[in-house]
């Protein structure tokens, strides 16, 4: 009788264990009243919710971590990368409103990159009501009155264009222009009279670089784009969502030079013109590989970089980024690519000045340049001062005087 009871107990325990194993991955077993409907054939749960598109999936984090809500930069800052022409389009009221935003966020001076060489007075006149708060770079109108579909008609392919451009640079410096801007189209879209892409390091442009050096006009260059933009646009691409929204931002394929080819051509220009100061826009095009940017800074003493629209990249590698920014504190400038809504500005202060974890880099949902959040790097005050204003004042003509005037006027 004892043996029979023992065998019965073992069988019961085995049955209970089997039941636990069958239901351990489901808090509501299929036959309970609150369970989702089951597939009769397999016992699996049928999906009852639609699967969202990648752009519609914008989850709210459940992390409970420190949040430092900064509303202004710790030191009066200089934003060296702004587009008041392209974004404001002559709207004086919008400019006035942004000056008030600058006051609230402790931005002393902004550098607009939107004057057009040869007619720079138009943009300077737009900024003139706040002349102590803005300086401007100019960019070259390579197409002029030519037809978009006919590169042979473009201004840059006409006789005397280079000489004319150099003379315009001299006149622009006298008018108050502080530097020269090159957009990413230089290398990706600018074509010669035979519709072939111009190389960035084509000797044709050498007199322009030399003239900028002679006039002490720094050259800010946007070269290439994020590395993912040169990869196939598949679901393996980390910027797939962004490229699906902006298919024209993809430079994958034989129609465009490779990213390395573009960056190497730019670097040859920097090396060939040591007396000209160059600013690599957007971390010089290498935000995803800071070790490579480090090598550039060591190799080219006439190269500086700025961080506009790249805290999304820097902030996902906070340990590497912090070491990089501290090590190169004399060569890094502050920029935003604005004017932006105020919320985005707060993310810049939070990234540079705090150790906050896992926060957005943009006010947009989903995050527009990669579906991730960022972490702060909490830079020392000495480094912040250099990035926020000291480096720019030393590099860009007239900026030191404008910066002092801006601070004086804001304190009165």
Mean pLDDT across the stretch 109-121?
98
Q: Tell me if 274 sits within 8 A of 247, measured CB to CB.
A: no
Kindly list the strands in the beta sheet with 332-333, ordered across the sheet, starting from the edge strand earlier in the chain.
Answer: 77-82, 107-116, 134-139, 180-182, 219-221, 278-280, 303-306, 332-333
Q: How confident is the model at residue 205 (pLDDT cuts 50, 70, 90)?
A: very high
Q: How confident is the model at residue 412 (pLDDT cuts 50, 70, 90)?
A: confident
Cα 319 from chain centroid (whole Å): 19
pLDDT in tens, 44-59: 777 788 888 999 999 9
Q: Is the pLDDT of residue 21 over 50?
A: no
pLDDT in tens, 66-110: 999 999 999 999 999 999 999 999 999 999 999 999 999 999 999
Mean pLDDT across the stretch 200-213?
98
For the chain, domain boundaries: 77-411
Question: What is the pLDDT, as a whole number, of residue 39?
Answer: 53
Mean pLDDT across the stretch 325-340?
98
> Parallel, antiparallel, or unpaired for β 107-116 and 332-333?
unpaired
Q: Greater confidence, 240 or 29?
A: 240
Question: What is the pLDDT, as a whole number, of residue 173?
Answer: 98
Mean pLDDT across the stretch 112-132?
98
Mean pLDDT of the chain: 91
Question: What is the pLDDT, as a whole number, of residue 334?
Answer: 99
Q: What is each CA distance from 195 to 155, 189, 192, 199, in whole angstroms?
A: 14, 10, 5, 12
Q: How far apart are CA 87 and CA 367, in angstroms?
A: 20
Q: Greater confidence, 37 or 74?
A: 74
Q: How far apart are CA 186 and CA 108, in angstroms?
A: 31
* pTM (whole model) above 0.75: yes
* Closest to 382 measured CA to CA, from 330, 334, 308, 346: 330
Mean pLDDT across the stretch 342-350?
98
pLDDT in tens, 131-189: 999 999 999 999 999 999 999 999 999 999 999 999 999 999 999 999 999 999 999 99
Question: What is the pLDDT, as a whole number, of residue 179?
Answer: 98
Q: Is the pLDDT of residue 372 over 70?
A: yes
Furthest-apart CA atoms within the chain: distance in Å: 113
Contacts of 318-321 with CB under 8 Å at 24 or more apart are 318/374, 318/375, 318/376, 318/377, 320/290, 321/290, 321/377
Strand partners, 191: 197
**What residues have CB less than 8 Å from 86, skipping those under 6 apart?**
114
Question: What is the pLDDT, as a whole number, of residue 42?
Answer: 57
H helices of 67-205, in order, are 84-88, 92-105, 120-127, 161-175, 185-188
Question: What is the pLDDT, as a whole number, of residue 259?
Answer: 98
The CATH topology of domain 77-411 is TIM Barrel (3.20.20)
Classified as helix, coil or strand, 198 is coil
Q: What percent of the chain has pLDDT over 70?
A: 89
Q: How confident is the model at residue 22 (pLDDT cuts 50, 70, 90)?
A: very low
Q: Tell me if 310 sits within 8 A of 290, measured CB to CB.
A: no
DSSP state of 333: E
pLDDT in tens, 289-319: 999 999 999 999 999 999 999 999 999 999 9
* Closest to 353 measured CA to CA, from 71, 127, 29: 71
Q: What percent of the chain has pLDDT over 90?
A: 85
């Amino acid at each position: 009788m004892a043996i029979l009871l023992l065998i019965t107990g073992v069988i019961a325990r085995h049955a209970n264990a089997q039941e636990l194993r069958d239901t351990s991955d489901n808090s509501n077993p299929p036959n309970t009243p609150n369970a989702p409907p089951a597939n009769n054939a397999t016992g699996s749960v049928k999906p009852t919710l639609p699967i969202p598109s990648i752009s519609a999936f914008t989850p709210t984090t459940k992390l409970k971590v420190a949040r430092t809500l900064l509303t202004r930069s710790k030191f009066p800052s200089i934003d060296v990368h702004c587009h008041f022409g392209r974004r404001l389009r002559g709207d004086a009221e919008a400019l006035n409103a942004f000056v008030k935003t600058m006051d609230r966020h402790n931005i002393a001076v902004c550098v607009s990159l939107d004057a057009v060489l040869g007619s720079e007075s138009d943009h300077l006149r737009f900024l003139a009501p706040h002349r102590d708060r803005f300086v401007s770079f100019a960019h070259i109108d390579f197409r002029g009155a030519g037809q978009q579909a006919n590169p042979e008609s473009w201004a840059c392919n006409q006789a005397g264009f280079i000489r004319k451009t150099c003379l315009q640079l001299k006149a622009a410096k006298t008018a108050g222009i502080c530097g020269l801007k090159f957009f990413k189209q230089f290398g990706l879209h600018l074509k010669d009279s035979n519709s072939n892409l111009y190389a960035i390091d084509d000797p044709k442009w050498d007199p322009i670089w030399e003239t900028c050096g002679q006039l002490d006009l720094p050259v800010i260059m946007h070269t290439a784009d994020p590395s993912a933009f040169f990869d196939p646009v598949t679901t393996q691409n980390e910027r797939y969502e962004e490229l699906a929204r902006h298919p024209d931002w993809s430079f994958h394929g034989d129609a465009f030079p490779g990213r390395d080819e573009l960056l190497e051509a730019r670097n040859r220009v920097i090396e060939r013109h040591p007396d000209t100061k160059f600013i690599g826009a957007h971390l010089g095009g290498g935000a995803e590989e800071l070790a490579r940017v480090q090598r550039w800074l060591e190799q080219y003493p006439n190269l500086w970089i700025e961080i506009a629209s790249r805290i999304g990249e820097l902030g996902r590698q906070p340990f590497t980024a912090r070491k990089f920014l501290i090590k190169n504190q004399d060569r890094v400038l502050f920029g935003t690519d604005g004017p932006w809504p105020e919320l985005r500005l707060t993310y810049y202060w939070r990234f540079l000045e705090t150790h906050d974890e896992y926060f957005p880099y943009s006010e947009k949902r989903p995050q527009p340049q990669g579906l991730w959040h960022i972490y702060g790097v909490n830079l020392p005050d000495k480094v912040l001062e250099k990035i926020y204003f000291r480096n720019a004042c030393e590099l860009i003509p007239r900026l030191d005087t404008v910066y002092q005037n801006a601070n004086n006027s804001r304190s009165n």
